[in-house]
Amino acid sequence: MFRFDPFSPEIDANPFPAYKTLRDEYPCFWSEEANMWVLSRYQDIVMALNDWETFSSAKGNLMSEMPGRAGATLGTSDPPRHDRMRALIQKAVMKRALDHIIEPAHAAARTRLEAVKDKQPFDFVEDFSANYTVDLIAYLFNLPAENLETVREKAVLMVQSDPVTRTKSPEHLAAFEWMRDYADTLVEIRKREPGEDLLSQFILAEIDGEKLEDREIQLTVTTLIMAGIESLSGFMSMLMKNLTDFTDVRDALVADPSKIPDAIEESLRFNTSAQRFKRCVQKEITLHGQTLKPGDFVCLAYGSGNRDERQFANPDVYDLERKPKGHLGFGGGVHACLGTAIARLACKVAIEEILAMYPTIHSIEQEIQWMPSSTFRSPLHLWLKA
């Protein structure tokens, strides 16, 4: 009998064959292991993303949710409050507001690449993308310079889950608690001495004449740090994996760097790091002959929708010329990733610098270890040679 266990190491390593079975044979599947429904076809996922009144985020959006987080962050609240909160942050993360990070991003990328010159092979994840994204987020949020390494380490741990117990282990929960306390301290500092940074703007903001609740601020800041550091680094690692798996694509980008944004979009479609997110059913709904009841959780398998042959021709081919529109690499609907402009910019700058400095960068023989996570998919290490 077919099973789908989003906690299993096999799915971490390669979810795509299971996704195909889900799409073709069980488009609305009850996963006992996950204790939720799984939607895997593009059209069904888009439908759910656009109907927040039926598919709510307020009971949590991560496959393995962290305690106390549901309902208190952007990603875990529904309109209209969600929209009011999002409007407070959106301005600071829009494309036209990000010119100021372009130069610091180039400088950070060059410094981090110089540092691996004499270390060959190097681990793209630990030696480059982790450091580069921390540099960038520390700049953007004006984070204190001390213990940034610990911030990164905790951001990585907090998104993980245990494949055996199918929940967060004490270590993962401790990482989340550490980050929550870190965010709390940061919020206190900013309240006393507000700056021009994104966090200060959010902390000082009001919705309908009321300040945000402390819990909302603390957990939203926690999530922004987690997403800014871990999700961005995870996606960048997948992008780099694609460019070193498909060296013809790498060569095409070296020859014409203006195609880098096309490679970013195709990577978001082909194997985005944000593989699966969660919703909670509010109104009974029947899909593909199955009845979903209020209170049931539903997994939206973005990574599967992005490979749906009903939407994308030859979906298992990485095609630089595809220029995919409407992919689910950043999710969709009102909860689509807040940091899309930051992510696109950070990846474009990084790849420009990497290919300019190391045009023949390639992978070496290795067995990839995948992050144990029911939500995200990215390699723990990616060994490359310049």
Partner 1 sequence: MPKVVYVDFQGNRNELEVANGMTLMQGAVMNGLDGIEGECSGSCACATCHCYVDEAYLDKLPEMSENEDELLDGTASERLGTSRLSCQIRMADDLDGIVVQLPEEQ
In the set 35, 50, 111, 369, which binds partner 1 (CB under 8 A)? 50
In the set 148, 189, 204, 334, which binds partner 1 (CB under 8 A)? 334
310 scored as a contact of partner 1 (CB under 8 A): no
Q: Which residues contact 209 (CB under 8 A, 6 or more apart)?
A: none
Distance CA 374, CA 62 (A): 8
Contact status, residue 48 vs residue 54, Cβ threshold 8 Å = yes
Q: How far is the CB of 85 from partner 1 (least distance, A)?
A: 9
Stretch that binds partner 1, among 82-90, 113-121, 168-176, 362-370 (CB under 8 A): 82-90
81 scored as a contact of partner 1 (CB under 8 A): no
In the set 41, 82, 276, 278, which binds partner 1 (CB under 8 A)? 82
Which residues inside 255-284 make contact with partner 1, applying CB under 8 A?
none
79 scored as a contact of partner 1 (CB under 8 A): yes
* CB closer to partner 1 out of 117 and 323: 323
CA proximity to 197, closest of 145, 135, 143, 136: 143
Task: Kindly list the distances between the CA atom of residue 175 and the CA atoms of 12, 152, 168, 180, in Å, as whole numbers in the listed order.
Answer: 21, 10, 10, 9
In the set 214, 340, 370, 380, which binds partner 1 (CB under 8 A)? 340
Q: How far is the CB of 339 from partner 1 (least distance, A)?
A: 11
* CB closer to partner 1 out of 142 and 340: 340
In the set 20, 33, 71, 86, which binds partner 1 (CB under 8 A)? 86
DSSP output for 137-196 = HHHHHT--STTHHHHHHHHHHHT---TTTSS--HHHHHHHHHHHHHHHHHHHHHHHS--S
Distance CA 342, CA 333 (A): 19
Angle subtended by helix axes 340-357 and 260-271, to nearest 10: 120
* CB closer to partner 1 out of 95 and 117: 95
177 scored as a contact of partner 1 (CB under 8 A): no
84 scored as a contact of partner 1 (CB under 8 A): yes
> Cα 135 to chain center, whole Å?
18
In the set 21, 326, 360, 364, which binds partner 1 (CB under 8 A)? 326
Pairing of β 362-363 and β 206-207: unpaired
* CB closer to partner 1 out of 94 and 317: 94
Q: How far is the CB of 90 from partner 1 (least distance, A)?
A: 4
> What's at 143, amino acid-wise?
L
How many positions of this chain bind partner 1 (CB under 8 A)?
A: 22
Q: Which residues contact 47 (CB under 8 A, 6 or more apart)?
A: none
Stretch that binds partner 1, among 80-88, 114-122, 149-157, 354-362 (CB under 8 A): 80-88
335 scored as a contact of partner 1 (CB under 8 A): yes
325 scored as a contact of partner 1 (CB under 8 A): yes
Q: What are phi and psi of 157, to 5 degrees?
A: -70, -35
CA proximity to 61, closest of 269, 299, 233, 293: 299
Q: Which residues pair with 329 in a beta bridge?
A: 331
Encoding tokens for residue 237? 């690692």
Which residues inside 341-360 make contact with partner 1, applying CB under 8 A?
341
Mask for 91-130, x = binds partner 1 (CB under 8 A):
x--xxx----------------------------------
Task: Kindly list the distances between the CA atom of residue 133 and the CA atoms of 74, 139, 148, 164, 307, in Å, as whole numbers in the listed order.
Answer: 21, 10, 11, 30, 28
Q: ω before 294 within 30° of 0 (cis)?
A: no
211 scored as a contact of partner 1 (CB under 8 A): no
Q: How far is the CB of 280 from partner 1 (least distance, A)?
A: 19
Sign of CA dihedral 361, 362, 366, 372: positive
* CB closer to partner 1 out of 223 and 237: 223
> What's at 70, amino acid-wise?
A
Q: Which residues here bind partner 1, judged by CB under 8 A?
A: 50, 79, 82-84, 86-87, 90-91, 94-96, 323, 325-326, 332-336, 340-341
